[in-house]
Amino acid sequence: MTTNYAGRTPSGRGLGAPGRAGARPPESLERLLAGLTVHEKALLLTGADAWRTQGAEALGLRPMIMSDGPAGVRGVVLDEREPSSSLPCPSALGATWDPGLVRELAAALGAEARGKGVDALLAPTINLMRTPLGGRGFECFAEDPVLTAVLAVAFVRGVQGAGVAATAKHFVGNDSETERWSYDARIAESVLRELYLVPFEACVREAGVALVMAAYNKVNGIPMTENGRLLRDLLKDEWGFDGVVTSDWHAARSTAGTALAALDLAMPGPDGPWGGQLAAAVADGSVSPGVLDDKVIRLLRLADRVGAVGDSPNAEEPGPAPVDPALLRRAAAASFVLLRNEDDAALPLDPAQVGRVAVIGPNAIRPAIHGGGSAVVMPATVSTPAAALGAALAGQAEVTVAAGCQTWVVVPEPGAGSLRDPATGEPGLRVEYRDRDGGLLAAEHRTSTALAWWDQVPPGIGWGMPGSIVLVTSFRAGSTGPHLLGAAGIGRLTLTVDGTVVADGATAVPDDPVEAMARPGEIRATAAFEAGHQAEIRLEFRPAADGEGPLAVRLGIVPDADDDVLLAEAEQAAGRADVAVVVVGSPPMTESEGFDRATLALPGRQDELVRRVAKVNRRTVVVLNAGMPVLTPWADQVAAVLQVWLPGQAMGDALADVLLGRAEPGGRLPVTLPAAEADCPVLHAVPRDGEIGYDEGLLIGYRGYDASLTTPRYPFGHGLGYTTWEYETLHAETSELAAGEDLRLAVTVRNTGSRAGREVIQAYLAAPPDNAGAGAGPRPPRELAAFASVSAQPGAPAEVVLRVPARAFARWDTAADGWVWPAGRYTLHVGRSSRDLRLSAAVQLS
């Protein structure tokens, strides 16, 4: 059933440095071009399908395969039979503050992409976390442009070093998901230059990123796919970007407008506003032949870079190349941020001292390992906190597990072990593809009950088609009693248990096609099952007439539970234990592309759960499993708080390593954690009358908190680790700096604790008060200017030299249309976080 296109694997050679134009000399690409008609050229510039570009045999050009995404490479299918490594999400990578580790992971991701035949990875996402409610915040590295830029460059270098093209997305102003297809981000030029464009500029100039993805939204009135000023004048002409500007999926909505604005590739295909219409626009003179040729040259240059064109195609055959599980585990632990550790003593746990451990919380059992939308991949295995802690403490401590409360929004998938394919008897289910009359077109065995397809279904099945997809399975309940069944998908759903229809109904078509996967409508029923007995379950799904995007259907079954009972059980378990580890956070898929979050509060009764557990157990360790900030009103009542983000498939093992002290929680916050929603400099992501005014100017994240003198719950840059540090000396290499010069700072710190550890040394620049760039609004009191990490043994000093780049001192002057270096006395503050600054030095800029 699954169509396997024989994508060839790019060669192992890395993609080049900035401005590198592939292995071929430019004339040879132009020669290839000369053999093509206008029509043939135009056709190359729209995708062949959801994930492939067009090939051209005459040119020796094969289709290139593109694939999401930022936390794992999916390939052309989302299918448990072709699993992908699930990495810590980008906000977790942001928390590592470690470009070396990010590059190492990205290189491994690039190798896995090559193994899947993928030529271009649709990552990294380098928008900034403007608001903590932004649905895709977990997909971004940080709220700060410098941290984002450093990690983005490392990511691009890692991926491209493995011979796979990286894509910097979403260019630019794609900082909200509400009305993301149409909203107009009103951003002052100076704010664009000093904040939102910084990571893109770095990826182009420093890392030679191969693709840039033009976003759905408008910026200052013009859709990004038609934004000639930002795509052509700035990205290509000013920055010298020589790669391909691809549209976000379906974002190209005009022919000449997008072509002239310097969009190069309209994805996906084969439909869209280009193709024959683009050829016609060239014929009628609205698009010049030179504009068309430039796009094709760029596409051929990309093909050359990834080895997709030429007469000696890569010999390498694709094959699974998963990321080393040990690297996933190490990276996850390195991203965990220890927010609180009472008396420096609650963590790590000494297994010899803890006889009984209660592992509590909905996310201990069903963690959120990744966010929703295009970032989703299907890993082969997931280590849950409950299972991993149980295994890590086996033979040393008694581990009890309690959910505490329920938070899921879509009825969870039943464990594969509870299902049997009625045709084969194997664990799992049978998926049948049926025509309008119920005739069987094809069938296959699957193990996941959450299924999605872009184009791998038989003809006659899809949006507006008469056919259906039927899931059939034999379910064996683990407990006797009522269970909740859920059938989710966009269209008509009919659910039967042992031949009786228990639910039948249609769900609404969402505004955003990605919701078909991320947040589909669901119909539910309750049915009684007996432990150990088999029940035949059948779910028929007829996709809606007017749906769009990938097809998706899922079947969920879960024992019907009462939160009051779950809370009481958790409280009891905690009361009997020496330590309570409470894993709370976002339910799976609630942080997602396609929609923003409505609140920062923990969903369901999780706050109550933490409070009740903390009341009966003094050693309560709260683990926050969320990709973006959540409120922690109980933080002072618990012994320790550990932020673990959406950590990927290695979550449980990495958590066990950190809780038991086998690894240091090495992370520092890449985003401010607020004490209350009202404290956030920018809270809501919702457009008003189609517009989002970036009126806060430069004051997002910690810059805003600092400007309004608001104390966050935990500040940007904060993270305790398992040792303590003293900041001993800071020397600026000069006290007089000329405009345009970098500044070097030598910093010495000492590990004053009893364990070896890693410290992230952060330098913040405070500008003289009166040098606001025209239009930028108030300057933040301090801005991250440089950072570096050191490791040291207990008692040992460590020295590092930080380079503060000249740009840190510059402002964008809108009137002069350029960077200026306002003279004056600047202060460099160096410390452990944006609010824990230990040393300072002054420098006069002339």
**Shortest CB 224 distance to ligand BGC, Å:** 12
The binder of ligand BGC chosen from 171, 200, 249, 595 (CB under 6 A): 249
**Shortest CB 399 distance to ligand BGC, Å:** 39
Q: Is 475 exposed, middle or buried (0-12, 13-18, 19+ CB in 10 A)?
A: buried
The binder of ligand BGC chosen from 335, 374, 617, 789 (CB under 6 A): 374
3-state secondary structure at position 778 = coil
CB 723 within 8 A of CB 348: no
Q: Is beta strand 419-420 parallel, antiparallel or unpaired with respect to 468-476?
A: antiparallel
| DSSP state letters, 685-712 | ---BTTEEE-TTTT--THHHHHHTTPPP
According to DSSP H, which parts of 187-246 are helical? 189-191, 198-205, 228
Closer residue to ligand BGC in complex, CB, 142/624: 142
Q: Give the contact letters, 498-537, x = binds to ligand BGC (CB under 6 A), - = no.
A: ----------------x-----------------------
**632 vs 622: CA distance, rounded Å:** 10
Query: Which residue from 636, 605, 634, 638 is spatially nearest to 621, judged by alpha carbons?
Result: 638
**Shortest CB 732 distance to ligand BGC, Å:** 41
The binder of ligand BGC chosen from 32, 122, 392, 457 (CB under 6 A): 122
Residues with Cβ within 8 Å of 34's Cβ and at least 6 positions away in sequence, in order, are: none
248 is catalytic: yes
CB 536 within 8 A of CB 501: no
The binder of ligand BGC chosen from 41, 52, 103, 169 (CB under 6 A): 169
Query: Which residue from 671, 655, 648 is spatially nearest to 70, judged by alpha carbons?
Result: 648
Residue 790 CA: distances (Å) to CA of 142, 160, 426, 733, 799 = 21, 27, 52, 20, 8
CB 492 within 8 A of CB 523: no
Query: Which stretches does DSSP call E strand in 754-835?
Result: 757-766, 783-792, 797-804, 811-813, 818-820, 824-833
Q: Is beta strand 640-643 parallel, antiparallel or unpaired with respect to 620-625?
A: parallel
Examine residue 348 and say whether the peptide bond preceding it is cis (omega within 30 degrees of 0).
Answer: yes
Sequence letter at residue 213 = M
The binder of ligand BGC chosen from 177, 248, 264, 540 (CB under 6 A): 248
Q: How many CB atoms lie within 10 A of CB 612?
A: 22
| DSSP state letters, 495-512 | EEETTEEEEEEE-PPPSS
**556 vs 646: CA distance, rounded Å:** 22
Which token pair is 283?
A: 């014929």
Query: Which residue from 192, 266, 259, 95 is spatially nearest to 200, judged by alpha carbons?
Result: 192
Q: How many CB atoms lie within 10 A of CB 617?
A: 23
**Shortest CB 93 distance to ligand BGC, Å:** 16
Strand partners, 46: 266
The DSSP secondary-structure symbol of 192 reads I
**184 vs 180: CA distance, rounded Å:** 9
**Shortest CB 5 distance to ligand BGC, Å:** 17
**265 vs 139: CA distance, rounded Å:** 23
Contacts with ligand BGC by CB under 6 A: the residue count is 9
Sequence letter at residue 734 = T
- Determine if 571 is a binding residue for ligand BGC (CB under 6 A): no
Residue 694 has φ and ψ, to the nearest 5°, of -85, 55
Closer residue to ligand BGC in complex, CB, 472/490: 490
What H or E segment, with its residue span, contains residue 112? helix 99-115
CB 156 within 8 A of CB 207: yes
Q: Give the contact letters, 68-87, x = binds to ligand BGC (CB under 6 A), - = no.
A: xx------------------
Q: How many CB atoms lie within 10 A of CB 608?
A: 15
Catalytic annotation, pick one of 68, 144, 184, 248: 248
Which chain residues interact with ligand BGC by CB under 6 A? 68-69, 122, 169, 248-249, 374, 514, 593
Active-site amino acid positions:
248
